[in-house]
Structure 1
Amino acid sequence: MESLQNRREFLRGATLLASAFSSSNLFATSMGNELATYHKGHGAKPALDVARDEDYWSFVRQGYSASFSNILILNNGGVSPPPIVVQEAVENYHRLADQGPSYYMWRILDQGREPLRQKLAGLAGANAEEIAINRNATEALNTIIFGMELQRGDEVIGCHLDYPNMVHAWTQRSQREGIVYKQLAFDFPAEDDEAIVSAYREAITPRTKVIHVTHVINWVGQIMPVKKICQMAHERGIEVIVDGAHSFGLLDFKIPDLECDYFGTSLHKFLSAPVGTGMMWMKREHIGKIWPLVCDGEPKRSDIRKFETLGTRSFPLEQGIGEAINFHEGIGPKRKEERVRYLKDYWAKEALEHIPRVRLHTSLLAAYSCGICGVSMDGMDAPELDAALFTRYKIHTTAMVNDYVNCVRITPHVYTSLKDLDRLLEALHTIARS
């Protein structure tokens, strides 16, 4: 039986802030050396060129057990499978914790949160004292939404296609407290930044306190001009909350560059962290005035950790985030973004141009979309198309249906191959002819 010292050394190696190619993580010992060698020889190669290098991405795919599934997973915008090294890290932490949870969870694993906070801050380009680790974007953004001190009659501007849980949160505040919640309606895809920004600008009144904007619209993949909206709002003294659930870990950006006040995301989407992990960021000067969603002994303190008093939760899942960051940085954020966009364009352009009855609900311009794309077929509603793809071809997508949208959302990831997308295209061709 290994000694306590060996266990501590294992945990120290797994949680220390280190580069993706250091020798102190599972990613380095499994794939890091090979990727580092590739990057050394192709370091100056543009990300767009790497996006088309099938040999490189074939190697990356080997890091995902999902790539060996008989079911073709094309709903990575919902939850992305974690790489094998992330799965193994979580399993290792679980085995350790289960030997004595009250000791190994609280006195050993819990000590890894501060190094992890530093690692997330590095990825986000932010101060670690502005980063809180939680379970998903809903928890992060609901903490902000319900924690803001708003008065009856204060106004909040959102969008009709913001994520449902955020719409519900604002609606609940409206019903209980009398704040005014307004939703803008857009005709997506939209390819005019000024038109989008103007819609928010024109909705502002002297009572407007907050704008809530989704970075990447989950229904159809529209990328919103967040920075321009934030700049416009700040000129008028209005704070901005950004829902980054579908942008963080996919688009190559740093959170402070968006110029928002608050940001929440799920790490189990494109970052491929363990399912049930998320992150909240807010400007340091706002922390003291936001009430925590879950009680804290000092709820008005200016310490980001007040948003982490969640009681007992999964420490192994939290610590698995570190390996997901290693994997992400090992590939390179810009290479990853361009690869996923290339995969979306590969199938979407072919479907639009050569398959009858097909309609896209997402822009094909790089500034307005990346991995998520909505597709529909004349004569079928979205649930019918979604069901046909799965029952006939074992292709897992998701139907997106509300008063404004009726399409199937298709979202590849870095483990998706061109052969996989050819399978999707063949299925769409066959369904269109039937």
Structure 2
Amino acid sequence: MENRRNFVKKLSVATGALSLVPVLTPVKARSLSEAGKLINDLSPAEAARNEEYWHTIQQAYTVSPNIINLNNGGVSPQPLIVQDAVDRYNRMSNEAPSYFMWRTLDAGRESLRMKLADLAGCDPEELAINRNATEALGTVILGLNLKKGDEVVLTKQDYPNMIQAWKQREMREGIKLNWVNLELPIENDEIIVQKFKEAFTPRTKVVMITHMINWTGQILPVKKISKIARERGIAVLVDGAHTFAHLDYKIPDLDCDYYGTSLHKWLSAPFGSGMLYVKKDKIKDLWPLLPNQNPLIADIRKFEVLGTRSFPIEQAIGHAVNFQNAIGNKRKEERLRYLKNYWAEKVVHLPRVKLNTSLKPEFSCAIANFSIEGMEPSEMDTILFNKYKIHTSAIVWENIKGVRVTPHVYTPLKDLDRLVDAITFMAKK
């Protein structure tokens, strides 16, 4: 009891709760530290192939040993340290919710904002913490000052929630949507840039760019499109749901005005956590999704007026950031790309098999999509799970028809070997 009282006392006087809960138990910390020595002298590409190191990373997760989860593109599991943090913060909150949630854990948001800003490479005053990419991007889509006749450029391959948000504005306010239709995969940036350029008109006010198309893993040349948009005075909104903590970049590298992402995907943060970036000079004129006392204030916090939120989920994000930093952005990107290439290169030449994703590093990373002539995606998805216990995602969407495969850092090569066996079986079926 005395130890418990001391713990609670320390939490109540702290400016933020994040630093008070250990990132790892001593045993796990030593394990990761020892594993890190295996790759200290290796390049990220070389480290991506060091199975002894990645075996240690795999042990940090609690994924099912009976199901091979290759649908991390939907939502990723959390390492145990993140799960434990959520449990600790939740138990603390339940001792006296209004006290520990609003007087203790709420104070941790500012230190978390700084931690995320460091990872994102931007000013903390440009980051708002929310619940997912849909909320972040929806805040921008519904909060921009647009009038009847103003035009917005987007692609038919964008995420449905974002498309529906734009269509709602089209229905209610009479803005015009100009569509780019992509035939994927594309292995030439200039083809993609030209398609966007052709969609721009003198009335275009906004362009939305999905950094990585979630259906196939296609990476779009955001910065090149942004450059042309800026020359025309067009605001740039980036959907980074599938690239944050997946690819090695900083948000300012994209030269965008607005950016939204989910943290429960590639960062492996708690379910229901996300982030909104708004360039500092754009904050004042963007209306918040949920109204507050001064909706036109130039303070990023106006986008965080959510009412009662899950403080345990929010505060545990910091532990996911620590875990990400322990691996390293570039090292993680190279491992994820290696995992994709490991299985995709083994099946791409099989009869009837078509890879709907480029294998070139500048155009893809972890996510890939394949199809088999004569088979429906739902049929392949069913065989993969029923016969091989491999969980994937069947995709039929705007010029895209196949099965999406999405490994993560915890995926061992033997699981991908089973996937190759399964695809080989179906191709010969």
TM-score normalized by structure 1? 0.95
| TM-fit CA distance, 1:161 | 0.3
1:303 paired to 2:299: yes
| Structure 1 unaligned regions, length at least 5 | none
Structure 2 contact 216–367 (Cα < 8 Å) conserved: yes
| TM-fit CA distance, 1:419 | 0.3
Tell me the secondary structure at the aligned position of residue 431 of structure 1: helix
1:44 paired to 2:45: no
Structure 1 contact 13–24 (Cα < 8 Å) conserved: no
Structure 1 contact 14–25 (Cα < 8 Å) conserved: no
Distance 2:34 2:329 in 1: 17
Tell me the secondary structure at the aligned position of residue 367 of structure 1: coil
Q: In 2 relative to 1, CA 15–428 (structure 1 residues): closer, same or farther, beyond 3 Å?
A: farther
Aligned to 1:9: 10
Distance 1:4 1:146 in 2: 46
Q: State which drifts further: 198-207 or 37-46.
A: 37-46
Residue identity in the other structure for 2:28: M
Distance 2:9 2:366 in 1: 40
RMSD: 1.7
Structure 1 contact 32–330 (Cα < 8 Å) conserved: no
What do the CA deviations read for 1:151-177 (whole angstroms, capped 9, x no partner)?
Answer: 100000001101100000001100110
Residue identity in the other structure for 1:384: E
Match of 2:32 among 32, 35, 47: 35
Aligned to 1:214: 210
What do the CA deviations read for 1:298-320 (whole angstroms, capped 9, x no partner)?
Answer: 10000000000000110000011
Aligned to 1:173: 169
TM-score normalized by structure 2? 0.96
Residue identity in the other structure for 2:412: S
Correspondences of 1:26-425 after superposition (within 5 Å):
26-27=23-24, 29-40=26-37, 42-66=39-63, 68-353=64-349, 355-425=350-420
Residue identity in the other structure for 1:253: Y
| Identity, % of aligned positions | 52
Distance 1:12 1:413 in 2: 38
Distance 1:363 1:14 in 2: 47
Distance 1:223 1:14 in 2: 40
Q: In 2 relative to 1, CA 403–40 (structure 1 residues): closer, same or farther, beyond 3 Å?
A: closer
| TM-fit CA distance, 1:104 | 1.1
What do the CA deviations read for 1:211-236 (whole angstroms, capped 9, x no partner)?
Answer: 10000000110000001111111111
Q: State which drifts further: 29-38 or 261-270.
A: 29-38
| Structure 2 unaligned regions, length at least 5 | none
Structure 2 contact 17–104 (Cα < 8 Å) conserved: no
Q: In 2 relative to 1, CA 37–9 (structure 1 residues): closer, same or farther, beyond 3 Å?
A: farther
| TM-fit CA distance, 1:11 | 7.9
Structure 1 contact 13–25 (Cα < 8 Å) conserved: no
Residue identity in the other structure for 1:394: K
Tell me the secondary structure at the aligned position of residue 394 of structure 2: strand
Number of positions where the alignment pairs a residue of Structure 1 with one of Structure 2: 428
Distance 1:433 1:12 in 2: 65
| TM-fit CA distance, 1:25 | 2.6
Structure 1 contact 76–413 (Cα < 8 Å) conserved: yes
Tell me the secondary structure at the aligned position of residue 308 of structure 2: coil
| TM-fit CA distance, 1:421 | 0.2
